[in-house]
Amino acid sequence: MEREAAIETLSKELTMDNLWETLVLFAGHPFATMKGLEFTYTIKGYEMFVDRKEKSITRSSIEIAFQKAMELMEQEGAVTGPKKLKVFGASYLYPVFLRLGIIKGK
């Protein structure tokens, strides 16, 4: 219930702070990459740790991906794949962004 409320807040006010709060709430939730590989993540401080990777995805990388996603949504109406986000960890951020309703895929 709390997760759905966060998604609703995020849809009304699409800010990095609201995104971050929503990411924190979805920690541990199962996701899958475009290739179908399942993963979960944890948040520690300002880093996202994906269970399939050793290196973390920093909040600043997430912010860059978020800004790129917003640009693409405005210009093209969709984000056609993870590579379009142009940041480390995009293959994990893309399905999370899709699930949170930040972006639409092709």
**Residues 6+ positions from 39 with CB-CB distance below 8 Å:** 30, 31, 32, 33, 50, 51, 52, 92
The residue ranges of every structural domain in the chain are 2-99
Distance of alpha carbon 30 from the chain centroid:
13
pTM of the model: 0.94
Residue 1: the pLDDT is 77
Mode of pairing for the β-strands spanning 57-58 and 41-44:
unpaired
Q: What's the pLDDT tens digit per position in 71-105?
A: 999 999 999 999 999 999 999 999 999 999 999 98
Residue (of 73, 83, 80, 92) closest to 23 by Cα position: 92
Share of the chain above pLDDT 70, in %: 100
